[in-house]
Amino acid sequence: MADAKVIPFDDDRSRARRRPARTDDAASVRALPAQPSGDDPETGTETGTEPGADPGADPGADPGERGGWERKLASGLAFLRRRVTGDYEVDEFGYDEDLTDQVLMSLLRPVYEKYFRVEVKGVENIPAKGGALVVANHSGTLPLDGLMMQVAVHDHHPADRHLRLLAADLVFMMPVVNELARKAGHTLACGEDAERLLRAGEIVGVMPEGFKGIGKPFAERYKLQRFGRGGFVSTALRAGVPIVPCSVVGAEEIYPMLGNARTLARLLGLPYFPLTPTFPWLGPIGALPLPTKWTIEFGEPIHTDGYPLEAAEDPMLMFNLTDQVREQIQHTLYKLLVQRRSVFF
């Protein structure tokens, strides 16, 4: 299999999208020519067969359904051809856009649409071009909320943007997860990488609560933890990009964490070892998340391009902006909880 092209970043201007040519357009699937059968001496076609139709196809099948399968097959074959020939690109962070679009998003989409039935609001608040920092609450014992945010932006943003998530060190210490995270566009949660991505015009996602948010007890659900020292605000100020608050409702209930086996967590090198109503008591079945109904809302952006360059070193300004982002996310969480009729429906 040929090697992919590695695309360096340009920090001075937004990186242009380099999507492979799509093969699933209707125009790319050509109609089959009519096959004369001699049944009709005047037209030379079978009775009831329209010109351009496939005579070998099931006459009772929906033509739109046949065309859909043909487009999917053509798209899949084109993807395999690109992988074999190396006609795809990987940036210096390891992001494989072609693999993400064609495979990873396709694997996550059924979970997003059918299992958690995610409803998205305010995705148009993410800029159509240029960099932006999406800041969200973190919850759920396992970081599925970040993946669902990624699908939400990928599938619903009108400008076809991608979300590049900042992940903890633990993600990149796990053999298989490490490789998949890199391919999906995730990178280490450090200011240098985040600033480079933002200056290159990427949408970057961060969850400042970290393990404090994702591993908090069920009794503290939807109560935001500390947002650290405001490092994400400093990064946004230096890059001059807007901060987009994001609130996720539904993830808190997928693994209700009733306890934490701290001794076992230390032995395994984990930040926590959750005890839920189903895990570890039911074994592998207990590791399945509950099928809650999710809502993801992207709020009004907080602009930072009006601040001077030295603002990134002002601790009071960083504290105030951090508190503003945190309060906006918390307020939206309470609003969505009031509007929610049921955890599951």
N-term to C-term CA, the chain: 46
Q: How far apart are CA 175 and CA 189, in angstroms?
A: 18
pTM tops 0.75: yes
Selected residue with higher pLDDT from 317 and 24:
317
User: What is the helix (H) or strand (E) element at residue 91, kind and residue range?
Assistant: strand 89-91
- pLDDT at position 273: 93
At a CB cut-off of 8 Å and minimum separation 6, what does 340 contact?
Answer: 249, 293, 295
Task: Identify the CA nearest to 149 among candidates 171, 116, 179.
Answer: 116
Contact 299, 278 (CB under 8 A): no
Q: Identify the weakest region by mean pLDDT among 105-109, 129-133, 266-270.
A: 266-270
Residue 119 clears pLDDT 90, i.e. is over it? yes
Length of the chain: 345
Instruction: Give the number of C-alpha atoms closer than 13 A to the C-alpha of residue 177, restricted to the C-beta side.
Output: 11
- pLDDT category of residue 340 using cuts at 50, 70 and 90: very high
At a CB cut-off of 8 Å and minimum separation 6, what does 38 contact?
Answer: 44
- pLDDT at position 308: 87
In the block, which residue shows the tokens 């964490």? 257
